[in-house]
Structure 1
Amino acid sequence: MKNYKFATAFVTLYLIVYTVLLRLKVPLNISLFMFSLSPFLVVWMVYAVLKYAPYINRELNDDEEWGYQDEGPKSTSLS
């Protein structure tokens, strides 16, 4: 599934419904089934976001090791 927005919306809605159903005291087998399914859905969502979401920042240069763009390079000398 290449639509990371759908994955994010679906998993968020699923977890909200799960939480509401817990408060409504649904049968235990439904709660346990939804609970056991939730880690797989979260992993699927993370995979979809990491794989298909656009990266909007600049790429690192060959001499750069870290991609922090909110700060400039810091001096590491102890003198």
Structure 2
Amino acid sequence: MIKKFFLFIMCLSIMRVNSVLAADCAEVGKRIANRQGGTLTRSTPIVQDGKNMCVVVIVMPAHNGKRPRRVEVVVPAD
């Protein structure tokens, strides 16, 4: 019973960390999209080389009848 309780607490703490990181990535994604004049389509938290990173996908508006561009960048989560 005690082992199940501790396992539950550990899972809960991991989920909180991921949700905080996801919220941070959403803010980072919005900031990058605003800077580049695009629309944020996705912002995903990842861990790369032991560092918290965000994969941000932005759609840039089309010019002169061309298709919109999809831009994907990996940036630090902080």
TM-score normalized by the length of structure 2:
0.32
Higher helix share: 1
Higher strand share: 2
> Which has more radius of gyration?
1
TM-score normalized by the length of structure 1:
0.32
